[in-house]
Amino acid sequence: MESSVNFFRKIYRQEEESLGEWLGRHKLLLFGLVVAAVLMILYFKYRAPFLVLRDMLVVAHTPLWGGLLLAVWLAGLTVRAYRVHKVAEQREFVEDFRHGLDQWEYYGAWRTEKEDRRHLLTVTESGDGGIARPCLLWRDYDFEFDTKIVRGNTTWLIRARDILNYAMLQCGQSELYPHFRVNGMWVRLPRVSLSTTLPLNTWFRVRIRVQGTRVTAKVTVDDAETEIYNWDLLRPNVRTFVIGEGDRTQRADLILSYPVGSIGFREWSDTECAQFRNVRVSKI
């Protein structure tokens, strides 16, 4: 009897989580239905303002559907302005991957999964990577998450202006390679040897502080925190790139500058795979 009760409790929790994920994916549709319902209630309860609006549209030689389109457009502008204001005022971004990847711009094989009833993100074959939309205008922040190296390395993006411009820390078990991406081109900086060996297929905690031009990264393995990177990485500088192929090449000097930008993850090919969970970004 007890096992049957536990079984139905498990089914109930799964259905509850599925409903939550569905609501997260279709929140705009639900918002539209709520607005339509409110307008219908107002129309049947207070017809006079709607009749006045109709008469105004007739005088202006505007069809009723034109007025409705104008109202929808104004409502859309209002919602957009509110969302921009909300993002600007937001102090923290928390992602548990329970509701999919609606808040991310990503390319490649990104998928959400479950492990021990906890949601997580698996990234592989993602040459461009992916970034969190809510943090695009953030400057100084703490970026924390759990990660697991499945194959190759675990790679973290900071100060991402967009998917083609960001700073990157590519971290293997014993070494770390800082990178810059500028207009889709890559600059790889010298290797940094880690003061500890990171485990394979085991979760560990990462805490990255981005403040001014300095980047500090620490990992926690077996309850012991170790600093693995501390450098003035984000100081603006100029790099020379060779653009073109064959005989049609030219040199171009590009400025590497990342004053603001979001966080994200990247794993290049199927030889690289990492998992992430419990993401938290806090302004400082």
Question: pLDDT for 100-155, tens place per residue?
Answer: 999 999 999 999 999 999 999 999 999 999 999 999 999 999 999 999 999 999 99
Q: What's the pLDDT band for 8 if we cut at 50, 70, 90?
A: very low
Q: Kindly report the average pLDDT of the chain as a whole number.
A: 84
Last residue in a domain, options 89, 111, 135:
89
Q: Return d(Cα 233, Cα 212) in angstroms, integer.
A: 10
* Residue 58 and residue 103 share a domain: no
User: Long-range contact list for 19-22, CB < 8 A, 24+ apart?
Assistant: 20/98, 20/99, 21/98, 21/99, 21/100
Return the pLDDT at 2: 42
* Residue 219 and residue 85 share a domain: no
Return the pLDDT at 86: 65
Q: Strands 224-231, 214-221: parallel, antiparallel or unpaired by DSSP?
A: antiparallel
Judge whether 170 and 269 are in contact, CB under 8 Å. no
Q: What share of the chain is helix, strand, coil (3-state, %, to 5)?
A: 30, 45, 25
Residue count of the chain, please give it. 284
* Residue 74 and residue 144 share a domain: no
Last residue in a domain, options 89, 116, 143:
89
Which is nearest to 71 in space by CA: 50, 97, 92?
A: 50
Task: Decide: helix, strand or coil at residue 255.
Answer: strand
Say if pTM beats, i.e. exceeds, 0.75. Answer: no
pLDDT at 220 over 80: yes
Last residue in a domain, options 63, 89, 115:
89
Q: Please give the average per-residue pLDDT across 255-274, as a whole number.
A: 96
pLDDT at 81 over 90: no
Range of the domain at 259: 93-283
Q: Return d(Cα 205, Cα 254) in angstroms, integer.
A: 35
> How many domains, the chain?
2
